[in-house]
Amino acid sequence: MSQVLQQLARDHANMAALLDLLDSELDKVRQGEVADFELMRDIMVYMTRYPDHAHHPVEDLMFRRWMERDENARALAGTLGREHRGLAEKGEALASVLARVVDGAMISREEIETRTRDYSEFLRYHMKIEDEQAFPGSGRALRAEDWEDIASALAEHEDPVFGPVVRDEFRELFASITRGS
């Protein structure tokens, strides 16, 4: 497997771990328990920062090459590209709702539940299709020069939580991940 695909798969594992944390806070919201909205907000700030600005654009580049090399990939690659835009929109909206909750705004439990569940299910489904179809398909179709270009695009970004340096604004989030809660 190319190093690019290995990194993208690691990103998926990281995102899945964050969605697990998000879902466990969502369970608390559902049950009327005290949820950690700051943690939920931080998870969504991360999602709109790294996955939306690094992971997904790198995949878009990879999927464009995949379509060029394999015309049967067009439909799926097109769908995944549109889903990236949908995820970015839903993610921004959820991040903004959670930031308002943390700031003390009155937002219905139902709105928080619906937006969080939609986002989590959408991203999990999207990653599953990539893991099962788009990554293996790209792995078979792309050539060495494609991987070099994609690797340089990937190298322009540093993950602010799971990368070599944990950025200040994500210290609390990082601590929650290490604790597993």
* Interface ranges with Fe ion (CB under 5 A): 59, 130
Query: By the 8 A CB rule, do 2 and 66 touch?
Result: no
Which residue, 72 or 79, has its beta carbon nearer to Fe ion?
Answer: 79
Q: How far is the CB of 80 from Fe ion (least distance, A)?
A: 6
Q: How far apart are CA 80 and CA 64, in angstroms?
A: 11
At 124, list the tokens: 């999990």
* DSSP-based three-state secondary structure for 99: helix
In 74-165, at which residue ranges do the beta strands (DSSP E only) sit? none
Q: How far is the CB of 153 from Fe ion (least distance, A)?
A: 14
Which residue, 38 or 83, has its beta carbon nearer to Fe ion?
Answer: 83
Cβ contacts of 178 within 8 Å, gap of 6 or more: none
DSSP state letter for 34: P
Which residue, 125 or 140, has its beta carbon nearer to Fe ion?
Answer: 125
In 21-172, at which residue ranges do the beta strands (DSSP E only) sit? none
Which residue, 138 or 176, has its beta carbon nearer to Fe ion?
Answer: 138
Which residue, 42 or 59, has its beta carbon nearer to Fe ion?
Answer: 59
Q: How far is the CB of 9 from Fe ion (least distance, A)?
A: 9
In 52-155, at which residue ranges do the beta strands (DSSP E only) sit? none
Q: How far is the CB of 6 from Fe ion (least distance, A)?
A: 13
DSSP state letter for 169: G
Q: How far is the CB of 173 from Fe ion (least distance, A)?
A: 20
For residue 104, count other CB atoms closer than 10 A to its CB. 6
